[in-house]
Amino acid sequence: MTNVIELHHPLAKHHLAILRSVQTTPTLFRNQVRLLSMLLAVRATEDLTLSTIEVQTPLAITRGGRLAQKIAIVPILRAGLGLVEPVLELLPSAEVWHLGMYRDETTAQPVEYYSKLPATDPAHVGFVLDPMLATGGSIRAAVSALKKWGVRDVRILSVIAAPEGIEAITSEHPDVTIYVGAIDQELNEHKFIVPGLGDAGDRIFNTSR
């Protein structure tokens, strides 16, 4: 699938192995999410548009590049918050808008409880952040919200994904590119990614019981 880009960098595989381990502490888990998010963001921003500017160095005037597009970072609450800071470090002028969704455990469908996307002046490029693409329900809803806002270039950043979620996204939104650290085996009967890494939100915020 040309619109699904999986990281094959050795560093991505190294940090993902640490992330998956049940022995990884919340502090280390957050750090691994941060590192993988940066690797994903570097890959996902390779073709952003630049404008040419002049820069005065200590020795001469030279030409440089400056990002020319309006960019929006859109984390899906709450787990998506773990990806915001590293992406924002690379894109400090980006806007950050939040979408709150949770999965109904009975129907496995997304339920929206918070949205702060504006009605006008859409970004040129929108990055949807969610560490796990499982069924794809929440991310599909987020992509639809961005398109309704008027964003024409929507990109998804996820640490891991299930084939079922990828199929759901690409079927409904074939123009959207998915950047993922690893494509896992499957969803189990409870719609959890296998082998997965557990509940990313609980592990990021140390709320598992």
Q: Is 184 a catalytic residue?
A: no
∠117-123-127 over CA atoms, to 5°? 80
- Asked if 34 is an active-site residue, the reply is no
Of residues 2, 52, 107, 120, which has the active-site annotation? 107
Strands 95-96 and 99-103 turn out to be: unpaired
Catalytic residue among 43, 45, 78, 199: 199
Active-site residue, 107 included: yes
Distance, in Å, from the CA atom of 126 to the CA atom of 95, rounded to the nearest integer, reads 9
Listed residue (119, 102, 200) closest to 157, CA to CA = 200
Pairwise CA distance, residues 132 & 95, whole Å: 22
Cα-based distances in Å from 167 to 4, 41, 102, 123, 135 = 10, 22, 20, 26, 9
Q: Which of 34, 43, 78, 103 is catalytic?
A: 103
Give catalytic residue positions: 103, 107, 199, 202
